Amino acid sequence: MIRYLLISLSLLLAGCATVPALRCPADAQPSDAPVWTPARRSETERNTYRVVLRTRKNELSGLCILRKNGDTWRGTLMNEFGFKAFDFWTTNSRCELQDVQSMLDKWYIRRTIASDLHFLIECDHPQAPFAGKIVRYEQNNILVVSHGKKELTVLPDGTLRLVNRRHHLTYELRKLTETKTDNTIQYAK
């Protein structure tokens, strides 16, 4: 009787176990290419990106300004009018949001955005908590880095697209280059 109980329990537990699926198409080539090349992010200068954050019903577009300070990346996300959505900082181990706008200041929104930004900014760091679980591949000259329900795609035009399939969020970042003429700063696409 105990033997049948143990067999049925082991079958039940084996049936409930999950196996992570390798979300890599058959024609994709494994890659170890970095997402953050010097052309996409400077460690000494200020980096400015055009950002579009999409949900199922809303869209937030604006600018993300990112700068490295020691081993910490600090940034701010603001809309086109200059109203700040939030500030953030990230290291290889964690990300934290600060000064969050009231409509985004819910614990579950903060946690999701912080987790997504941490994956986006630290995806190349070998000591990041998710570094051993990342799958990288290239398909049709597009670099894809995935971890769980998150997929970061580097498009041929240099746009970074992070899709969080669990929460149906899409982040798109495109680097803007600064040109200084006549004491004004212009951003070229």
CB atoms near residue 162 (< 10 Å): 20
Q: What is the pTM of this model?
A: 0.80
Query: H or E segment at 12?
Result: helix 2-16
* pLDDT score, position 30: 85
Residues in contact with 92: Cβ distance below 8 Å, sequence separation at least 6, in sequence order: 71, 122, 125, 127, 128
Q: What is the pLDDT of residues 82-92, one digit of tens each?
A: 899 999 999 98
Model pLDDT, residue 96: 93
- Residue 28's pLDDT is 77
Tell me, what's the pLDDT at 90? Answer: 94
Instruction: Give the strand pairing for 160-164 and 29-30.
Output: unpaired
Query: What does the pLDDT look like over 25-46, one tens digit per residue?
Result: 777 788 888 899 888 999 899 9
Residue 10 has what pLDDT? 72
Q: Which residue stretches of the chain have pLDDT < 70?
A: 5-6, 9, 11-24, 179-189
What pLDDT is recorded for position 111?
94
pLDDT number for residue 82: 86
Q: CA 179, CA 185: separation in Å to the nearest integer?
A: 6
